[in-house]
Chains A and B, each alone.
Chain A
Amino acid sequence: MKSWQRYAGVFLLAVAGLVIQQSVWVLRLLDHGQPGSGFMPFGLGVILAVLAICLIATNLGPEDRQVPFWEPKAWLHPLLAIVITAAYVVVFDDIGAITSVVVLVTGWLLLVEHKGVVVSAATGLATGLVVYLVFDRFLQTPFPRGLLF
């Protein structure tokens, strides 16, 4: 786990570097002698850099005990969920909001939760219907209609 904390520290240090760079080169630290738009981000960047270094420093050395970041295959379900959701966003405009909801729920139950085809499809259709009634009809959300709906 310590190594992952160090990676997090390095990532935060990179973010801090980017914030400082933008504050100094792109934004103004001072504007007519007064704090400019880069003033506070610069300060925050410096503090974040210090904290990131502290995070790395406090996690140096060997692992205390073997605590894996992920249990075996534990990453698979979250990763599948992310991929399915990303696919949903990609097709959202093209196939329409309600259809993409049906596809998302059906795909999720089939691939992530390993449910049967009938159960997955029925749940997907029911969810699509509820979203249509609540958001489209009742709340009048202007959803993209797309090709199928």
Chain B
Amino acid sequence: MFDVAGLWHGFQIAATPVNLMWGLIGCALGTAVGVLPGLGPAATIALLLPISMKMGSPVTAIILMSGIFYGAMYGGSTTSILLKIPGEAASVVTCIDGYEMAKSGRAGAALGVAAIGSFIAGTIGLIGLTMMAPPLAEAALKFGPSEYFSLTVLGLLLATYLTGESALKGLTMAIVGLILGCMGLDPLSGAVRFDFGVADLQSNLDFVTLAMGLFGVGEILYSLEKSGTASILTTRIENVFPKLADLTRSGWSMVRGSVIGFLVGILPGGGAVLSSLISYAVEKKASKHPEEFGHGAIEGVAGPESANNAAASSSFIPLLTLGIPGNASTAMIFAALLIHGITPGPFLLKEHADVFWGVVASMYIGNVMLLILNLPLIGIWVQLLRVPYSFLAPLIMVLTLVGVYSVNNNVFDIWVMLVMGVFGYVARKLKFDLGPLLLAFVLGPIMERSLRQALLMSNGDGSVFFTRPISGSLMAIAIAFVLYNLWAARKKNRAARAVASSEAAK
């Protein structure tokens, strides 16, 4: 169950000076973007995709990107605790009790517990990843086109329902993403689709261009609306190593958060945000002092921060074993693997064991790096909050523009990125979640190929998706999930209408 030889081989790869250096850069960058509100890990990975292409080794590139992803989970808590502004979406609930702790002079304890909880959870998540990934990859080898189609359908549905506020908007963005994924060459017939006579549109839309537009440019434009910089809390940050009493009180919260995060993180769309919300609710329920929640309960920091880190680790399981990314950040890593000529999925472990084990081992090392970066060196990240966004915005824009040009050396890509940026900006303003769009864009070609291959093999018989055991089970789960959500939405609407009519009667 635990491939010691594989993991040892991974450590040998991850511990080379070059990989250690890029791992450290990734963790530091991740912490920085986690600390800085407005720039998330998905956007940062998108910005670095062109640079990663110039890296010779795919292992090094993925080590850098995964470092950014899980590093951001660590860094996100800093702004939540000190400014009550979540540096990262997954740290939203940490604002509640973390900021209250900081206000009462316990910022150090909150930051320390968040870092230690993140370390424990990240390590537990990694142990789970190490144990579960090989057997899951083995099982996935039995998947045919119909299973893959059903899996992508289920994955997209879960992602759209679990990520955003509105399932309707999430689903709409997913369909837009699938349509964008259809543009250019048809993978099976070679026909050109939706080129409208423009030669540059005859090749498929580039993932880097799309991701940098939606998440890079869109994010910058959105941030420009809010002028001025947040003022930092004046409380001194001291005693970041929590007292024994704090650790004793938050120990079980860390364990519970780790388990919740690990399980939720495996689900497509589940990820770090949902796991931290669930963890907070569970901690409040399990606590002997629920009245302290909202007023600086240390469990309210330890649980969610542990959960989002465990989820970050376990979200690599579907990516590396099934080739199904569960969130925007892992979709970027998926694209980075493709750029390096590696297809994530069940064959990854067999054909590119060095990449798989190298990345997993680097995450163990990265967790230790992050603990050091976020406990004794926390002061550096706090200073980072003083950098005015007015200077960061144009610099990030330059990085996206130059980066996207360097992929294909084509000015047309910059125009596409700019259009996507405007689309992303407007979509964010209208509260459309862009994560499902990007996921669908990545999964679209897999979905279409699987759909058409399955229909070809069954002579056009659509029942193949329901009659094969694994495919049928996945479809049944997908249908049950949609029906349950429709029922829940209907119930919620009725309740809201009843409240409105009773208020009107008064």
Chain A interface residues (CB < 8 Å from chain B): 1, 4-5, 8, 12, 15, 19, 22, 27-28, 31, 33-41, 44-45, 47-48, 51-52, 54-55, 58, 69-71, 74-75, 77-78, 81-82, 85-86, 88-89, 92-93, 97, 101, 104-105, 108-109, 112-113, 115, 123, 127, 131, 135, 139, 141-143
- Tell me, yes or no, whether B429 is within 8 Å of chain A by CB: yes
Chain B residues within 8 Å of A55, by CB: 168-169, 172
In this assembly, does B72 line the interface, its C-beta being within 8 Å of a C-beta of chain A? no
Q: A37-B193, A123-B391 are contacts. A105–B430 as well, Cβ < 8 Å? A: no
Is residue B204 contacting chain A, with contact meaning CB distance below 8 A?
no
With A36-B189, A45-B179 known as contacts, the answer to whether A81 contacts B224 (CB < 8 A) is yes
| Distance (whole angstroms) from the CB of A20 to the closest CB of chain B | 11
Within 8 A of A (CB), among B446-465: 447-448, 451-452, 455-456, 460
Interface residues of B in 424-451 (CB under 8 A from A): 425-426, 429-430, 432, 447-448, 451
Contact with A along B267-288 (1 / 0, CB 8 A): 0000000000000000000000
Chain B hits for A35, CB < 8 A: 451-452, 455-456, 460
Known: A44-B178, A47-B175. A127 touches B395 (CB 8 A): yes
- Which B residues from 392 to 413 make CB contacts under 8 A with A? 393-395, 397-398, 401-402, 405-406, 409, 411
Q: Which of B227, B398, B429 is close to A77, meaning CB atoms less than 8 Å apart?
A: B227
Instruction: Say yes or no: B451 contacts A139, CB within 8 Å.
Output: no
With both chains docked as a complex, state the minimum distance between the C-beta of A132 and any C-beta of chain B, in angstroms: 10
Contact A141 B405 (CB under 8 A): yes
Smallest CB separation, A34 vs chain B (Å):
6
Contact B189 A37 (CB under 8 A): yes
- The answer to whether A40 touches B406, judged by C-beta atoms less than 8 angstroms apart, is no
A39 touching B452 by the CB < 8 A rule? yes
CA distance A112 to B225 in the complex (A): 11
Which residues of B lie under 8 Å from residue A93 when comparing CB positions? 411
| Residues of chain B within 8 A of A104, CB atoms compared | 394, 397-398, 401
Q: B422 in the interface, Cβ–Cβ < 8 Å?
A: yes
Contact B189 A139 (CB under 8 A): no
Given the interface pairs A27-B191, A48-B179, A78-B224, the reply to whether A33 lies near B390 with Cβ below 8 Å is no
Inter-subunit contact B455/A51 (CB<8 Å): no
Listed from nearest, the 8 A-B pairs whose CB atoms lie closest are A108-B394, A37-B186, A37-B191, A77-B224, A113-B390, A141-B406, A78-B221, A74-B225
Distance in Å: Cβ of B228 to nearest Cβ of chain A: 11
Of the candidates B54, B172, B194, B390, which one forms a contact with A51 in the assembled complex, judged by CB atoms under 8 Å apart?
A: B172
CA distance A112 to B171 in the complex (A): 35
| Among B54, B221, B391, B394, residue most surrounded by chain A Cβ atoms (within 10 Å) | B394
Which residues of B are found within 8 Å of A113, using beta-carbon distances? 390-391, 393-394
Closest chain B residue, CB of each to CB of A138:
B54
Write out the residue numbers on chain A whose beta carbons fall within 8 Å of the beta carbon of B405: 92, 97, 141, 143
Return chain A residues, CB-CB under 8 Å to B394.
104-105, 108-109, 112-113, 123, 127
Write out the residue numbers on chain A whose beta carbons fall within 8 Å of the beta carbon of B225: 70-71, 74-75, 77-78
Residues of B within 8 A of A86 (CB): 418
Main secondary structure of the interface of A (DSSP, over half): helix
Are A101 and B402 in contact, CB atoms less than 8 angstroms apart? Answer: yes
Minimum CB–CB distance for A24 against chain B, Å: 13
Q: How far is the CA of A56 from the CA of B181 in the complex (A)?
A: 25
Complex partner residue of B397 from A4, A15, A45, A81, CB under 8 angstroms = A81
Chain B residues near A (Cβ < 8 Å): 51, 54, 168-169, 171-172, 175-176, 178-179, 182, 186, 188-189, 191, 193-194, 217, 220-222, 224-225, 227, 390-391, 393-395, 397-398, 401-402, 405-406, 409, 411, 414-415, 418, 421-422, 425-426, 429-430, 432, 447-448, 451-452, 455-456, 460
Q: Give Cα distance in the complex from A81 to B243, angstroms.
A: 48
Partner of A33, one of B188, B402, B460: B460
Decide if B175 touches A48 in the complex (CB within 8 Å): yes
Q: Do A105 and B172 form a contact, CB below 8 Å, given A27-B193, A92-B411, A141-B405?
A: no
Cβ of B179 and Cβ of A22 under 8 Å apart?
Answer: no
Residues on the B chain within 8 Å of A71, using CB: 225
CA distance A40 to B153 in the complex (A): 13
Asked whether A112 lies within 8 Å of B186 as measured between CB atoms, the reply is no
The 13 listed contacts between A and B (C-beta, < 8 Å) are A8-B430, A12-B172, A28-B189, A28-B191, A38-B193, A44-B179, A58-B168, A86-B418, A89-B415, A108-B393, A112-B224, A113-B393, A139-B54
Q: Quick one: closest B residue to A46, CB to CB?
A: B175
Q: Is the CB of B398 within 8 A of A31?
A: no
Chain A residues, Cβ within 8 Å of B397: 81, 85, 104, 108
Residues of A within 8 A of B406 (CB): 135, 139, 141
- Known pairs A41-B193, A112-B224 / 16 extra A-B pairs, C-beta < 8 Å: A22-B194, A28-B189, A35-B451, A35-B452, A35-B460, A37-B188, A37-B193, A41-B182, A47-B175, A78-B224, A81-B224, A89-B401, A127-B394, A135-B406, A141-B405, A141-B409
A141 to B451, CA, bound (A): 39
**CB <8 Å contact, B390 and A105:** no
Q: In angstroms, how far is the closest chain B Cβ from the Cβ of A75?
A: 8
Are B54 and A52 in contact, CB atoms less than 8 angstroms apart?
Answer: no
Provide the residues of chain B in CB contact with A135, threshold 8 Å.
Answer: 402, 406
Across the two chains, which residue of chain B brings its CB closest to A28?
A: B191
Which residues on the A side are within 8 Å of B418 (C-beta)?
82, 85-86, 89
Bound: A8/B432 CA distance, A: 10
With beta carbons under 8 angstroms apart, the residue of A48, A69, A89 that contacts B172 is A48
Contacts of B191 in A (CB 8 A): 27-28, 36-37
CB-defined contacts of A28 to chain B, threshold 8 Å? 189, 191
Q: How far is the CB of B179 from chain A (nearest CB, A)?
A: 5
Given A27-B191, A34-B452, A135-B402, A54:B168 Cβ within 8 A:
yes
